[in-house]
Structure 1
C-alpha cells in the first residue's frame, strides 16, 4: 500500500500488486527516443491507462502518484519529455515539440496491453502538456486531470498586466537547473537550495535583464532569453498558446487550482471555455500556492473520484468546490463565478477606505518610486516556498507604498468572484506600473495578503483612470478585522521592476525614478471593487 493511500484515506477496495518496467523506449514522430516508466497492476488485462508526461524526471521517491494509481487498478505511463531525464532531443522551456505527442500516441496504439481507454493527469508543466496533446483528435481520451496549469503560458505567468514576471521566470530557471545538474536526485537538488534564495535575489536586479540567466546559473538559457526578449502579444508566444485546442479536449476535465497560484486567472478562463465547448468540468480551488494542492486530502480525493467516474463508471462530483479563506471552510457552487454584487470601496484622504465616496476636495496622496530600490513584495503568487499569505507590515511601512484601510468591520464581509481597482493617477513619467494588493488586517494589526494585480503603462497623460485586475478571490473578512488596499508602483521580484526609461526590457540598462499622485476626491473617485455575496454586509 503506498504512503499516499494511507495518509489521505484513499485506500482502494482491492489493492493490486504493482509491477514496474523501467526505461521503456518510445520513438517520437521525428525519431527522437523518449524514455518512460510503465507501472501496471499484476493480473489485470488491458486496464485503463493514465499518461503522465514530465520534464522533472522519473522515479523520485517523493512521487508516489504512479504507484498509487497502479495499486488502484490503472496502468501508468510516466514519460520524460525530450531533453530531460535521459530522453533524447533538446528541452526548449515551455515550447513543446508536437512530435513527442504524435509518436507517443502511435506507439501506445500498437501496444497489446493498451486497452483503448486513456486518461491524463498532472500539475503545472504536466498539466500544460495536456493542453498541447489536444492539438490532435484522440478518441481514446476520456478524462484530463489538470492542476495549476493554463492553456496559454504568456498572459498570467510571463506578462501579467504587461509586466515581465522576473522573479517567477528566474525562479523556474533555477528550479530546472537544479534538476538538470543534480541528475534529478532529491538529495543533490536539496543541496542545491543552499544559498539559492540569495543568488536568485541578486539575479533579478541584473542589467541588462537578458544577462540575468548567466548571473544565476553561470551560462545562457536560451528559452529565458526568448521570454525576456519577446513582449506580450508577439508571434513568439503562439507556440505556447493552446487555447484553440479546447474543442479537442476529452469529454470530462478536472481543473484544480489555488487562490495563490499564478496560473489561476487563466485556469478560470479555461473553465469557462471548456463549458462553452460542451465539456463536463469539475472545478476545485483551494487555499494553496502553486503545486501545493496536488497531495492534499481534498485535492487528491476529488481528482480520484473524477477519474474513477470517467473510467470505471462511478458517480462523480460535479460543479465547483471552493475554499473560502478567512472563514476556513469549503463551499459547493453550481458554477464560477457565483452570483455577486460588484461593490465599490472608495479611497479617502488620510488612508481611509469606505463604502461612501469622499464628497469634497482633497489633495492627492503621493509617493516616489525608485527602480534602484524597487518596492519589494512578500507572499502571493510566487514560484517557490515563499508563496501564499504573509504578513505585509514591513512592506507597508515603506514610503513608496500607500495603504487605505477601513474602520473595524461591524459584521463579516464575504466576497467571492473577480476583483478590480480603479485608480485616478498622475505621474511625471509615462513608463510606470501600478500595483494593487488587497489585505485582511486582524485586530492585532497583522496585514495578510488576499489577492493582488498589476498593470504597466507607457503612454503619456495627465490624470489617468487606471484599471487594475486583481486575482479572483473567495474570502471572508471577519467582524473586527479591517479591509486594506495597498497601492504602489512595484512588487519586485514577483513582478519585475519597471526601469522607467522605456528601453527594451531585455537590453535596457538605464533606471529612472517617478513621482506619483493618487487622487481620491469627488471628481476622481479611486475605488476597490469587491464581489460581495448577495445579502452580505
Structure 2
C-alpha cells in the first residue's frame, strides 16, 4: 500500500508523505428526515480519535477508483474522509432527481456527521462537477459554517449551463443523462455512437430512448422545462453565494462548461470580502483538470484544517494565458488592467469605428442544422479548439476576417458581442464564434456564445460569450463566424415557436445582420496590455 500511495501522490503531483494505516468502514447508513437512508464509506487513519471530516457527496458511486484514490491521498495527510452516494444512487434510498434534493439531504448529512463520536464537529467539503454543486447546496446554509470548501469545475447553479442564452444545450445534456441512466448497467456510454446518433432524434424530449433504450429523468426534466417556469428555482444557490463565509478555493478551465457560473461565484465572494481564490487553466471538463484540482484542494485543507498555510499563494486569481505558455497572477477578476475594445463587423473585421455596410444574410435550415466543432463539451476528445474551416465554407454562415496582426494581442476577461439582427420568422438562435486564423489559414475557435432572439423586427442581441485568456500571435488574424445554430452542441431551433421537448415540424429562417452606423454590430474584447 505504501508503494501505491507513492505512485498516486506522484500522479497528482504531490510531495510524498508517510503512509499510515487506513481504516475503512463501508456502507454507513445516514438517516434523512423522511426516513430514507443514504449510504457512505468512512476512511480514517488508524488509531486516531475524534477529528475533522472531509465530506464528498457523489452521484457517480462512492467506490469509483478516482474517489478511492482521492480518499487515500487525504487520509495519508491526516484527514478522515466520508464519501456518500446521493439519494437514489447505487444503494442510497429514494429516487434520484438531479440537483433537487442536495440541500436538504446535504444539511441532514452534515448534522449527522457532527453527532458522530469520531467527528470533532468540524466538517470541510471538496469535490468537482456535481460534487461541487453539492457543496454549494450546503455551504450557504450550514450553521455553524463549513471549515473549508474546495470547488473544481463547478458552480452554484447549473441552470444557465442547461440553457445558455436560452438555447437547449443538447450535447452535454444527452451525454450526462445517458451516463446517469445507465449507472446500474455496468457499462456507461459517455459518448458512444448510439448517443451521438440520438442527438438527431426528434422530438428531442424523447432522445433518451434513442440513446439508451428507456426514459431518463434528467433529460426529460431539462427538455420539458426549457421554457422558464420556475422548475429549477430551488436548485439555484447563486443568490446565497455572497453570504457564504467558508474559506473557498476554486479550480476551473477555459474550456469548462461551468466556467461562466464559477467566475460569477468567485466575483460574488470576492466583492463580499470573503476569503476565496481561483485557478483557471487550459483545461476542459475532463481529467486534465483533475491533477490541478487535487493539488489545490489538498493545500487548502492543510491550511484550514491543519493550520499549515506555508503553501498558500498571495494572489486571489491565477490564470493561464493560452498560446503564450504563461501563468499570471491578479488581485481580482476580471483583471482591472484590461481595456474594453470593440471589433466591428463590416465586410471584414475592423477596429476603427462602425463601418457603413449592407446587411449580411444567411438562411438557417433546421433539417440541415449548422454543425459545430470544439468548445466546452463533456465528451473526451471532442471539445476545446478544433479546425473550423469545413464549417466556415457552408452557405448558412457569415464569415468575417480581420487583417494580419502587427503585434501579439492578449485578450483576458469576459467577451461579449452586440449584434443587430432581423429574422424572417421573428425568432431564431444567433450563434457567434471568435476564431484564431494562423499563418497557414487554419481557423481555430477561441470563444463563442449563443442567444435565442425573438419579438420580430430588428433585435439588438447582447450575447455573452465564454471568458478567455488567449494570445493571438503576430501575423495571425481574428475571424468571426455567425450562424443560426451550432448542432448538436445546441438543439436546433425549429423556427415555429413550439416547445423544445415536442418540436418536430420546422421552418427555415433567414437572418439579416445589420452593420451600419445606426446598428454597430461588434465583438467586445478585453485587451490586456501587460
Does 2:116 match 1:111? yes
The CA deviation at 1:25 is: 1.6
Tell me the TM-score normalized by structure 1: 0.92
Matches within 5 A, 1:425-464: 425-461=421-457, 463-464=458-459
**Residue in 2 that maps onto 1:483:** 478
Distance across 1 between alignment mates of 2:197 and 2:241: 40
Distance across 1 between alignment mates of 2:197 and 2:464: 29
Is contact 2:418–2:521 with CA below 8 Å preserved after alignment? yes
Distance across 2 between alignment mates of 1:526 and 1:136: 43
Does 2:78 match 1:80? no
Distance across 2 between alignment mates of 1:180 and 1:397: 44
User: Taking structure 1 as reference, are residues 37 and 65 closer, same or farther at Cα in structure 2, changes over 3 Å only?
Assistant: same
The CA deviation at 1:144 is: 0.7
Is contact 2:363–2:510 with CA below 8 Å preserved after alignment? yes
Does 2:346 match 1:348? yes
Aligned partner (choices 151, 165, 179) of residue 156 of structure 2: 151
The CA deviation at 1:348 is: 2.1
Matches within 5 A, 1:275-424: 275-296=270-291, 298-315=292-309, 316-318=312-314, 319-339=316-336, 340-349=338-347, 352-357=348-353, 359-360=355-356, 362-385=357-380, 386-424=382-420
Tell me the TM-score normalized by structure 2: 0.94
Distance across 2 between alignment mates of 1:377 and 1:333: 33
Distance across 1 between alignment mates of 2:103 and 2:374: 36
User: Taking structure 1 as reference, are residues 464 and 105 closer, same or farther at Cα in structure 2, changes over 3 Å only?
Assistant: closer
The CA deviation at 1:465 is: 2.4
Matches within 5 A, 1:35-54: 35-54=39-58
Distance across 2 between alignment mates of 1:117 and 1:404: 56
Distance across 2 between alignment mates of 1:224 and 1:465: 32
**Residue in 2 that maps onto 1:22:** 26
- Higher mean displacement: 21-30 or 119-128: 21-30
**Residue in 1 that maps onto 2:265:** 270
The CA deviation at 1:232 is: 4.9
The CA deviation at 1:197 is: 3.5
- Higher mean displacement: 331-340 or 396-405: 396-405
Is contact 1:293–1:299 with CA below 8 Å preserved after alignment? no
Does 2:507 match 1:507? no
SS of the equivalent of 1:494 reads: coil
Distance across 1 between alignment mates of 2:259 and 2:164: 12
Distance across 2 between alignment mates of 1:359 and 1:136: 52
**Residue in 1 that maps onto 2:166:** 162
Distance across 2 between alignment mates of 1:277 and 1:291: 31
**Residue in 2 that maps onto 1:134:** 139
User: Taking structure 1 as reference, are residues 85 and 232 closer, same or farther at Cα in structure 2, changes over 3 Å only?
Assistant: same
- Higher mean displacement: 376-385 or 70-79: 376-385
* C-alpha RMSD of the superposition: 1.9
The CA deviation at 1:114 is: 0.4
SS of the equivalent of 1:116 reads: strand
Gapped regions of structure 2 (runs ≥ 5):
none
Is contact 1:47–1:114 with CA below 8 Å preserved after alignment? yes
The CA deviation at 1:99 is: 4.1
The CA deviation at 1:150 is: 1.2
The CA deviation at 1:43 is: 3.0
Is contact 1:148–1:291 with CA below 8 Å preserved after alignment? no
The CA deviation at 1:165 is: 0.9
- Alignment length, in residue pairs? 520
The CA deviation at 1:457 is: 1.1
Distance across 2 between alignment mates of 1:58 and 1:97: 16
Is contact 2:251–2:278 with CA below 8 Å preserved after alignment? yes
Is contact 2:114–2:122 with CA below 8 Å preserved after alignment? no
SS of the equivalent of 2:523 reads: strand
Does 2:1 match 1:5? no
Distance across 2 between alignment mates of 1:39 and 1:252: 24
- Higher mean displacement: 327-336 or 209-218: 209-218
